[in-house]
Amino acid sequence: MPSELDATLPEQRIVEAAAVLPDFGGVTGWAGLRWAGGAWFDGSGAGGVGRRPVVLATGYADVLGQPGIDVSQERLGPAELTRIDGLWITEPVRSLCFEMRYAGSDRAAVEALDLAAYSDLVSVAEAADYARGRNGWTGIPRCRRALALADENSWSPQETRLRLVWMFDAGLPRPLCNRPVFDLAGHHLGTPDLLDPVAGLVGEYDGSLHLVTSQRRRDRDREQMFRDHGLEYVAIMAGDGRHTTVRRLLGARRRERFLPEGERQWSIEAPTWWPATYTVAQRRALDAEQRERWLRTRLRVG
């Protein structure tokens, strides 16, 4: 955690809220995940507007909420608390389950799990195991529905949202997330946000960063590289509405040739020296040097 906290940082809000905790309790939800290292959990409201309250899990202790702080008195066991950098928080799987149960939609619950997995805080299996024993808890059906839709290799909330539009609004088969693509000699062509390996369709989300001239040039070269090897390519821009996104996805899929594997100029079979980093378990097994080498393009937020 930062040594000198700025009042605009989510960390400062979490520290101030934690000061209200009783003798037994911890910060939970998005704030608990943030304090545990969840890069994408910044406490912003829907669409990045406003701020969500920090939630304190207090068990049965009677603590009054106040502006910017909500209190949850759901049952809480000692094993569900952990102390990190001087603050008591609920274990990441408990914080995530809270976040998913009280999410505003099933898609928001999926997003929470994807982003917790991004920082390797919780795997889908760990979340499922925790949810299995919580029958009757508020929101647990939503949490369980989201488990089947999550992906441990989504790299941003925008990618998760695009994947869910791809599946549920466009009705396309579930894509692979951030799966590296190689030419037939084993050279890395790129790692697209989304890939339909049957159709050969690449889907990319281009945020505001991609409008910068140097980035646009790299995006253009990357798109051409995919197309030169027989992959259809569609980029969804920041600000594209759901209707536009669906129309562009379906149009790109209609253009795809669905080449059989023997006729393709590309493959998702990685060379033997390329490590698999698609799951939480695979990434946790990397040492610090390997993480820096193989995840450096992934460890970006914003």
Task: Read off the pLDDT of residues 77-132 as tens digits, 9 standing for 90 and up.
Answer: 999 999 999 999 999 999 999 999 999 999 999 999 999 999 999 999 999 999 99
Please give the Cα distance from 228 to 241 (Å, whole number). 29
The sign one gets for the Cα dihedral 169, 175, 179, 182 is negative
Residue (of 32, 29, 173) closest to 100 by Cα position: 29
Beta bridge partners of 55: 28, 70
Please give the Cα distance from 183 to 127 (Å, whole number). 36
Please give the Cα distance from 93 to 30 (Å, whole number). 11
Q: Return the number of other C-beta atoms located less than 10 Å from residue 49's C-beta.
A: 7
* pLDDT reported for residue 64: 84
Q: Is 138 helix (H, G, I), strand (E, B) or coil?
A: coil
Res 302 pLDDT > 50: no
Res 1 pLDDT > 50: no
Q: Which two tokens stand for residue 70?
A: 């909500």
Q: Which two tokens stand for residue 42?
A: 């910044």
Q: What is the mean pLDDT of the chain?
A: 92
For residue range 167-193, list pLDDT tens digits in order.
999 999 999 999 999 999 999 999 999
E-only strand ranges, the chain = 26-28, 54-57, 69-72, 81-84, 87-90, 176-177, 181-183, 188-190, 194-196, 201-206, 232-237, 266-267
Please give the Cα distance from 50 to 42 (Å, whole number). 11
User: If pLDDT is split at 50, 70 and 90, which confidence band does 214 have?
Assistant: low
Res 213 pLDDT > 80: no
Please give the Cα distance from 146 to 112 (Å, whole number). 9
User: If pLDDT is split at 50, 70 and 90, which confidence band does 5 have?
Assistant: low
Please give the Cα distance from 58 to 242 (Å, whole number). 40
User: If pLDDT is split at 50, 70 and 90, which confidence band does 300 have?
Assistant: low
Contact of 162 with 203, CB cutoff 8 Å: yes
Contacts (Cβ under 8 Å, ≥6 apart) of 38: 30, 92, 115, 116, 118, 119, 121
* pLDDT reported for residue 3: 46
* Percentage with pLDDT > 90 across the chain: 83
